[in-house]
Structure formats: C-alpha cells, structure tokens
Amino acid sequence: MTGVTAWLRRGLMAAGLAVSTLAAGCEAPGGAFLGWPDDQARKIEDERPDADPRVRGQVTMTEVRTVPYETYVAMRSAGQVMVEERRTGQVYFAVRRTVQVPIAGRPGLAPAMMYVGVMERYRAGVPEEVVRE
C-alpha cells in the first residue's frame, strides 16, 4: 500500500466508509467497488443500525452508475475524483458530496438540518486508444 493509498484509506474510514480496495489497478472481489456491491446503494442504517429514525433511508453510497469516459476525465481534471480503480476495460471512480437532510423538529419550529457525506460511485469504459497508451 502506497503512502497516498494509506492516507486515502484513513480519511475514508474516518468518514465512516468501509473501503476494501483503493489502489488504482486493483480489482475489488465480486463487483464490490469500495467494499459495497456495485448494484446496491448503501444507506445510513446499513452502517449504523441504531441511526436516528428521522434519517433512515438516506443514501451514503450510491450504486455504481455508468457514465461516459469524458465525464471521468472532466471530474478527475477538476480534482473531484477521490478514489479510482481499473478493471478490465473500465475505470471505477468515486466522488464525495455533502447533502443537507432536513430533520423534523418540534412543532412550530423550522426543521433542523443534518449534513451527510455521500460517496457517488461511477464507472466509465476506457477507450481503446487510452488503454494502448
């Protein structure tokens, strides 16, 4: 594990994310990018069964979405890609966003807000000319 990979792992673990594979070029077992099945979104209650009932159902990690390779390049150029991994002919990558979740307060008061980190997961096919480089 490189120093950068270890640093990313510590940072993501501190944010409450289970990370199985971070190094580019490594494949996660069984289609589980960042330790969660590619075809499933993770919710707060999956991580914390005792989570406040008012925030249950809030997604903390999206299912892996397919995007054009150009989207990956643009997000990476903008410094948004936190984690990436190469799989045969594809690059899997993740972007962290923070969302506001309104929490019902007492009657007559405005709802409180909770900020939740969401890891948005993507995959993009890598064009053959890029693979050859």
Task: Going from the first residue of the chain to its last (133 residues), give the mean pLDDT of each consecutive group of 10, the final group possibly shorter.
Answer: 46 46 43 92 94 89 97 97 93 95 77 90 91 61
Token pair 């991994």: residue: 85
Contacts of 25 (CB under 8 A, 6+ apart): 85, 86
Instruction: Please give the pLDDT value at position 131.
Output: 66
Instruction: Please give the pLDDT value at position 11.
Output: 54
Range of the domain at 29: 3-132
What is the Cα–Cα distance from 115 to 100, expressed in whole angstroms? Answer: 5
What six digits make up the tokens of 14? 């501190």
- Which segments of the chain are extended strands (E)? 42-43, 59-61, 65-66, 81-87, 90-103, 112-125
Instruction: Please give the pLDDT value at position 101.
Output: 86
Query: Can you give the pTM of this predicted structure?
Result: 0.71
Task: Domain count for the chain, please give it.
Answer: 1
